[in-house]
Amino acid sequence: MTTELLPAPSVAADVTRMKAVVYHGPGAHAWEDVPRPTIQHATDALVRITTSTICGTDLHILKGDLPAIVPGRILGHEGIGVVTEVGTAVTAVKPGDRVIISCVTACGTCDYCRGGMYSHCRDGGWVLGNTIDGTQAEFVRIPHADMSLHHLPPGADEEALVMLSDILPTGFECGVLNGQVKPGDTMAIVGAGPIGLAVLLTAQFYSPAAVHVVDVDDHRLRVATEFGATSVINSADGNAVERVLALTGGAGVNVAVEAVGVGATFDICQAILAPGGHLANVGVHGAPVTLHIEKLWDRNVTLTTRLVDTVSTPMLLRMIGSGKLQPKRLVTHRFALDDVMAAYDTFGHAARDGALKVILTSRQEA
Ligand SMILES: NC(=O)c1ccc[n+]([C@@H]2O[C@H](COP(=O)([O-])OP(=O)(O)OC[C@H]3O[C@@H](n4cnc5c(N)ncnc54)[C@H](O)[C@@H]3O)[C@@H](O)[C@H]2O)c1
Ligand SMILES: [Zn+2]
Ligand SMILES: [Zn+2]
């Protein structure tokens, strides 16, 4: 035996502990020492996070808009990493594989999964960073790993592909597909955060004739112009409805996508719909909105809501591989994973810092 000849490690790493972003109730979260996750079910995988990011939904959680999320929860539902361990029933991934973590967990066998509605999986859905611990951590446990992880193509750019965890399938499924964007349509996207911009990028698959983008952040509106918006409107003056109507000759838009999650932006969307239009709500709402049925009842409009299902992720992966979709353009800031609190400050003050997607990278390379 040669083990006695090996040098002893200088510091014994505690493999039962790790660091993670822990939620402590509205307005309170911290990067803390916590127990490392372990395999709990035969279908689980453990993943060491190499790249993660922060979502507008994490900001909603910190605002208190999602009261079901309990203090002590590790936040985050986006990430890429390396599989470190799998349960006995996992067949699609093995230790050492690099994987994209889907923000939605799917068993693949329940009635909702079989209908393509992974978001309402009876043993999954949006659970990460919500009802179970999430990805803003050094390690994460992924239930139903076979369905909930995607292999990272060799040589792929993690900063680009981490956008597949959530924002690209969300923008595409909840905004573009639900909005039924067609060639020649006139669209408005209200909210130019990463999600609204993901709607803008993926709407191009269907060649809308015009896409008007509304926000209160001039930096984000400039990026929207670079990404192909036909016109941008800063709604801080309260005149967004009049300006969209003027841009459409008074007709309104065929598709209005709500990508903020507050009453004021839902109201804009309701007021700019052309007859037969689609209002696709994407935003997470923490408060009621007023439905103006007295104005909409005779306008043949459709209102949709959706939690992202992530059924489009394999297709979006191919579109990135072909170069037709370039999500890396959304990255504005980079932080080490253990500097995540500074990343929250930047993402939470996006207008001040000119931020869109903030990338978190693990310093550990194993
Ligand atoms: N349905 C889903 O499955 C799903 C998935 C992911 C995210 N979301 C939600 O999508 C929304 C957008 O996410 P994000 O990451 O882009 O968030 P974000 O916070 O980065 O962006 C929101 C944007 O809205 C703008 N805004 C705020 N108030 C406004 C107002 N009154 N008028 C016009 N613009 C205003 C902000 O300037 C910002 O650019 C959030 O509500 C998020 O929770 C939904
Ligand atoms: Zn999200
Ligand atoms: Zn299921």
Instruction: Indicate which residue's Cα is closest to atom 41 of ligand 1.
Output: 283
Is the distance from the beta carbon of residue 170 to the nearest atom of ligand 1 less than 6 Å?
Answer: yes
Residue 250 has pLDDT above 80, yes or no: yes
pLDDT digits (tens, 9 = 90+) for 194-248: 999 999 999 999 999 999 999 999 999 999 999 999 999 999 999 999 999 999 9
Distance (Å) from CA 55 to ligand 2 centroid:
5
At residue 309, the pLDDT reads 98
**Paired strand residues for 30:** 22
Is the distance from the beta carbon of residue 200 to the nearest atom of ligand 1 less than 6 Å?
Answer: no
Answer yes or no: are the C-beta atoms of 244 and 212 closer than 8 Å: yes
What count of other Cβ atoms lies within 10 Å of the Cβ of residue 231? Answer: 16
Answer yes or no: are the C-beta atoms of 142 and 45 closer than 8 Å: yes
In this prediction, residue 13 has a pLDDT band, given cuts at 50, 70 and 90, of confident
Is the distance from the beta carbon of residue 121 to the nearest atom of ligand 1 less than 6 Å?
Answer: no
Domain 169-305 classification at class level: alpha beta
Answer yes or no: are the C-beta atoms of 48 and 366 closer than 8 Å: yes
Is the distance from the beta carbon of residue 214 to the nearest atom of ligand 1 less than 6 Å?
Answer: yes
The pTM for the full model equals 0.95
Answer yes or no: are the C-beta atoms of 258 and 188 closer than 8 Å: no
C-alpha–C-alpha distance, residues 239 and 156, integer Å: 43
Helices 218-226 and 194-203 pack at an angle, to 10 degrees, of 20
At residue 1, the pLDDT reads 39
Using only the alpha carbons of the chain, give its radius of gyration.
21
pLDDT digits (tens, 9 = 90+) for 14-31: 999 999 999 999 999 999
**Residue 281 CA, closest ligand 1 atom number:** 1
Show the CA angle centred on residue 93, arms to residues 106 and 74, nearest 5°.
55
Report how far Cα 189 is from the mean position of its chain's Cα atoms.
Answer: 16
DSSP 274: E
pLDDT digits (tens, 9 = 90+) for 125-136: 999 999 999 999
C-alpha–C-alpha distance, residues 200 and 227, integer Å: 7
Is the distance from the beta carbon of residue 99 to the nearest atom of ligand 1 less than 6 Å?
Answer: no
Q: Is the fold of 14-166+310-361 the same as that of 169-305? A: no
Is the distance from the beta carbon of residue 245 to the nearest atom of ligand 1 less than 6 Å?
Answer: no
**Residue 173 CA, closest ligand 1 atom number:** 3
Is the distance from the beta carbon of residue 280 to the nearest atom of ligand 1 less than 6 Å?
Answer: no
Q: Position of tokens 């990805």?
A: 135
C-alpha–C-alpha distance, residues 341 and 62, integer Å: 13
Is the distance from the beta carbon of residue 159 to the nearest atom of ligand 1 less than 6 Å?
Answer: no
In this prediction, residue 164 has a pLDDT band, given cuts at 50, 70 and 90, of very high
The ligand that comes nearest to the alpha carbon of residue 308 is 1
Is the distance from the beta carbon of residue 310 to the nearest atom of ligand 1 less than 6 Å?
Answer: no
In this prediction, residue 7 has a pLDDT band, given cuts at 50, 70 and 90, of low
In the chain, how many H helices and how many E strands?
13, 15
pLDDT digits (tens, 9 = 90+) for 61-120: 999 999 999 999 999 999 999 999 999 999 999 999 999 999 999 999 999 999 999 999
Distance (Å) from CA 167 to ligand 2 centroid:
6
**How many angstroms separate the Cα of 365 from the Cα of each of 9, 249, 266, 280?**
17, 56, 44, 41
Give the H or E element holding residue 346. helix 340-348
Distance (Å) from CA 94 to ligand 3 centroid:
22
Per-residue tokens: 98: 């690099």
The ligand that comes nearest to the alpha carbon of residue 170 is 1
**Strand-strand pairing, 253-258 and 273-281:** parallel
CA neighbor of 53 nearest in space, from 361, 353, 342: 361
Answer yes or no: are the C-beta atoms of 103 and 142 closer than 8 Å: no
Answer yes or no: are the C-beta atoms of 98 and 81 closer than 8 Å: yes
What count of other Cβ atoms lies within 10 Å of the Cβ of residue 310? Answer: 26
Domain ranges (residues) in the chain: 14-166+310-361, 169-305
**What are the residues whose beta carbons fall under 8 Å from the beta carbon of 324, sequence distance 6 or more?**
none
Distance (Å) from CA 284 to ligand 1 centroid:
8
Average pLDDT, the chain: 95
The architecture in CATH of the region 14-166+310-361 reads: Alpha-Beta Complex (3.90)
pLDDT digits (tens, 9 = 90+) for 170-184: 999 999 999 999 999
**How many angstroms separate the Cα of 200 from the Cα of each of 31, 206, 254, 307, 362?**
33, 11, 15, 18, 30
The ligand that comes nearest to the alpha carbon of residue 129 is 2
13: helix, coil or strand? Answer: coil
